[in-house]
Amino acid sequence: MAQIRFDVLTLFPEMFHGFLSTSIIRKAHEKGLIETNVTNFRQFATDKHQTVDDTPYGGGGGMVLKPQPLFDAVDHLLQDASERPPILLMSPQGAPFTQKKAEELAGHSHLMFLCGHYEGFDERIRQNLVTDEISVGDFVLTGGELPAMVIIDSVSRLIPGVLGNHDSAAMDSFSNGLLEYPHYTRPSEFRGMEVPEILLSGHHANMEKWRREQSLERTWTRRPDLLKSAPLTEEDRKFLRMLEQKKRSE
């Protein structure tokens, strides 16, 4: 039995074919670690034209997704469920998606994604069906399919066995509140660019210290906001103070 099941409701299920049949996500399905079901909620429309949207009350541009097809689709998919899973609405109005949120979602055995496309959602969907609205950034896309794929990928790699090396997920950027340190591989010299000597030394304690400091410096330079909530040791704070002093002296 899969450790986590994803149900995706979309008007464009074909968008998921390549994503689900490629690389780590494909292998995770083959191993039975994750299960993904993609449903076209148009099939739950009740009129002969299978209409899923309509014009907004009060006027205005665009179309609005009707509540009935989505409510009925969710009811159908959950008719045998022992408990109601988190139902995630992909929306630029939602809370920002973070690594912490990915870790929270990975603790569930079942997640459901509602993906609009072009249209907005009838507010009754937000108020009475959805448990979480999630945004993958401060920008607007034509639909929720790409954000759903982003979240499925991010959550899946946290499931034990999905990645070949469990430490890969544990050491990712944001997992410890910081950006990840730089990586190098062979050759040790390429076009005059050399791998830092400390990584060739074989001294593991020194290498770990270097990696921690690189992670701290990269976060301090690129995402200083993360340092406010990152778990820092006194050694970390001492190193950051040194960076601040160095900057002031330049």
Residue 172: active-site member: yes
C-alpha to C-alpha distance for 41 and 43, rounded to whole angstroms: 5
164 marked among binding-site residues: no
Q: CB–CB of 74/41 below 8 Å?
A: no
140 marked among binding-site residues: yes
3-state secondary structure of 10: strand
Residue 56: active-site member: no
Q: Judging by beta carbons within 10 Å of its beta carbon (0-12, 13-18, 19+), is residue 176 exposed, middle or buried?
A: middle
- The candidate with the shortest Cα–Cα distance to 209, out of 195, 199, 219, is 199
141 marked among binding-site residues: yes
47 marked among binding-site residues: no
Residue 244: active-site member: no
Residue that the structure tokens 């074919």 belong to: 17
137 marked among binding-site residues: yes
C-alpha to C-alpha distance for 224 and 238, rounded to whole angstroms: 16
First-last CA distance in the chain: 59
3-state secondary structure of 25: helix
Task: Write down the catalytic residue from 92, 132, 218, 223.
Answer: 92
Residue 119: active-site member: yes
Residue that the structure tokens 């990928």 belong to: 153
Q: CB–CB of 39/13 below 8 Å?
A: yes
Task: Write down the catalytic residue from 5, 42, 126, 157.
Answer: 157
Task: Write down the catalytic residue from 72, 103, 172, 213.
Answer: 172
Catalogue the active-site residues. Answer: 92, 119, 157, 172
Can you say which residues are annotated as belonging to the binding site? 116, 136-141
Can you say which residues are annotated as belonging to the binding site for S-adenosyl-L-methionine? 116, 136-141
